[in-house]
């Protein structure tokens, strides 16, 4: 059944767990997420980015999610629009049937330039007003994703701020967060704590100075009733990195957000954990390995089935680690 983000996250808060929110672009990703959720009995958040709409086309993306609802009627599914850059984008998603939208007012409409606080409050508040009148939830964002190691937003495919960010911009301020939630009435708040989108988050396994889980605790202490969201939360599995590179790939050494750190965040109010890169890596690694080991195969179903299997393992692992398994 289609449910709003608010319904899912309220239940998660009451029961002390977190939910992975996986990005979807194609049928194999949607299937992997649903197969895993069905196997472990977890609620689901499927999220589509602007890039996903561009890749699949809005009707295909929408119908893939509707197909998931039809195939798994017993699993609660939230259909969430990731990183809306303007109220107009969010409005279109509400019209096309999304049960939740993210208004990312931390950046201007170009999705690159950090905005002012007042702009963020104003655009987010506007989206909340229309969304709530249709029963749709809203996620806002305060602070800019970026690397505390380098000061770069660090997103290789153009999602996120451009150029250098200050230390302050990359760490959400608890007082400002309280004011933001009060003024906008968002259902969930994405915070900046040193993570960034994509595979290249950290050049070494992260420690507290570059992954600020302490900051999550400070924000949660100030606004205990607000559902917090961690973006850029792929763990960049070292085993998949090795498989990709062993079978003809060339990814540089890099580290993500350890699952144990996410679990710490969940103890402090994190309820939604955005993951895209990990499924991309499992998919690519599975396909590279299959094609290298089955050089005569030319049936795409065989390597896409491997990709689905690789992604399913990751999804199951996250549902179990974040505590959403058994909660559907
Ligand atoms: O927001 C970042 C997600 O990883 C989506 O990436 O825009 O390439 O689909 P994308
Ligand atoms: P990753 O790039 O770490 O998977 O993060 C995805 C994300 O935050 C989507 O909004
Ligand atoms: Na989002
Ligand atoms: Zn994100």
pLDDT at 277: 98
pLDDT at 318: 99
The predicted model scores a pTM of: 0.98
Mean of per-residue pLDDT scores for the chain: 97
Nearest of 249, 258, 275, 266 to residue 202 by alpha carbon: 258
- Which ligand is closest to the CA of 81, given by its number? 3
Long-range contacts of 223-226 (CB under 8 A, 24+ apart): 223/174, 223/177, 223/178, 223/181, 223/189, 223/269, 224/269, 226/177, 226/181, 226/186, 226/188, 226/189, 226/269
Q: Phi-psi region for residue 38, left (φ > 0), alpha (ψ -120 to 50) or beta?
A: alpha
Verify whether residue 82 is a known catalytic residue. Answer: yes
pLDDT at 156: 57
**Residue 162 pLDDT exceeds 90:** no
Sign of CA dihedral 117, 231, 178, 5: positive
Nearest of 84, 108, 111, 110 to residue 98 by alpha carbon: 84
**Residue 194 pLDDT exceeds 80:** yes
> What is the helix (H) or strand (E) element at residue 274, kind and residue range?
strand 270-275
- Count CB neighbours of 51 within 10 A: 16
CA atoms within 13 A of residue 298's CA, in its CB half-sphere = 1
Best substitution site from 233, 240, 241, 281 to test ligand 2's pocket, by max atoms within 8 Å of Cβ? Answer: 233
pLDDT tens column, 106-130: 999 999 999 999 999 999 999 999 9
pLDDT at 299: 98
**Residue 155 pLDDT exceeds 80:** no
CA of 50, closest atom in ligand 1: 7
pLDDT tens column, 16-29: 999 999 999 999 99
Extract the tokens encoding 44.
């689901």
In this prediction, does ipTM exceed 0.90?
yes
What's the 70 CA to ligand 4 centre distance in angstroms? 27
**48-57, 147-156, 269-278: which range is least confident on average?**
147-156
pLDDT at 146: 94
What's the 36 CA to ligand 4 centre distance in angstroms? 22
Q: How far apart are CA 37 and CA 27, in angstroms?
A: 15
Pocket of ligand 2 (CB under 6 A): 23, 82-83, 197-198, 231-234, 274-277
pLDDT at 152: 87
User: What percent of the chain lies above the pLDDT cut of 90?
Assistant: 96
pLDDT at 8: 98
Q: How far apart are CA 35 and CA 40, in angstroms?
A: 9
pLDDT at 158: 61
What's the 152 CA to ligand 4 centre distance in angstroms? 15
Q: How far apart are CA 263 and CA 259, in angstroms?
A: 6
**Residue 154 pLDDT exceeds 80:** no
Residues flanking ion ligand 4, Cβ below 5 Å: 231, 274
Map 233-249 to HEC letters.
CCCCCHHHHHHHHHCCC
> What is the helix (H) or strand (E) element at residue 212, kind and residue range?
none
pLDDT at 153: 83
Pocket of ligand 1 (CB under 6 A): 23, 49-52, 82-83, 157, 159, 197, 276
pLDDT at 157: 58
Instruction: Supply φ then ψ for residue 2, to 5 degrees.
Output: -80, 125
Helix ranges (H only) for the chain are 5-15, 27-40, 50-56, 58-71, 87-95, 117-133, 174-184, 213-222, 238-246, 259-267, 277-293, 300-322
**Residue 161 pLDDT exceeds 70:** yes
Please tell me whether residue 154 adopts helix, strand or coil conformation. coil
The pairing of strands 44-48 and 77-84 is parallel
Best substitution site from 50, 111, 139, 197 to test ligand 1's pocket, by max atoms within 8 Å of Cβ? Answer: 197
Extract the tokens encoding 22.
């996986």
pLDDT tens column, 204-241: 999 999 999 999 999 999 999 999 999 999 999 999 99
More confidently predicted of 164 and 190: 190
């Amino acid at each position: 059944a289609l449910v709003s983000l608010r319904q899912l996250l309220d239940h998660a808060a009451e029961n002390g767990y977190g939910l992975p929110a996986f990005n979807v672009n194609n049928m194999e990703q949607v299937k992997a997420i649903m197969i895993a959720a069905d196997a472990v009995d977890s609620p689901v958040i499927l999220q589509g980015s602007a890039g996903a709409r561009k890749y699949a086309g809005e009707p295909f993306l929408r119908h893939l999610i509707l197909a998931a609802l039809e195939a798994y009627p017993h699993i609660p599914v939230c259909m969430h629009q990731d990183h809306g850059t303007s109220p107009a984008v969010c409005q279109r998603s509400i019209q096309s049937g999304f049960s939740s939208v993210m208004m990312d007012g931390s950046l201007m409409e170009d999705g690159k330039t950090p905005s002012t606080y007042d702009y963020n409050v104003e655009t987010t508040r506007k989206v909340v007003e229309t969304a709530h009148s249709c029963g749709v939830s809203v996620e806002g964002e305060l602070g800019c994703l970026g690397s505390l190691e380098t000061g770069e937003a660090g997103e290789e495919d153009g999602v996120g701020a451009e150029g250098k960010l200050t230390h302050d911009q990359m760490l959400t301020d608890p007082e400002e967060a309280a004011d933001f939630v009060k003024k906008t009435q968002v259902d969930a708040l994405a915070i900046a704590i040193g993570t960034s989108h994509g595979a290249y988050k950290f050049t070494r396994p992260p420690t507290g100075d570059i992954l600020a889980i302490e900051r999550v605790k400070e924000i949660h202490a100030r606004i205990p009733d607000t559902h917090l969201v961690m973006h850029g939360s792929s763990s960049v599995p070292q085993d998949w990195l090795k498989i990709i590179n062993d079978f003809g790939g060339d990814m540089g050494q890099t580290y993500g957000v350890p699952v144990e750190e996410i679990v710490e965040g969940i103890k402090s109010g994190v309820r939604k954990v955005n993951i895209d890169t990990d499924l991309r890596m499992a998919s690519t690694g599975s396909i590279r390995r299959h094609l290298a080991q089955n050089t005569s195969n030319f049936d795409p179903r065989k390597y896409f089935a491997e990709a689905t299997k690789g992604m399913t393992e990751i999804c199951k692992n996250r549902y179990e680690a974040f505590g959403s398994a058994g909660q559907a």
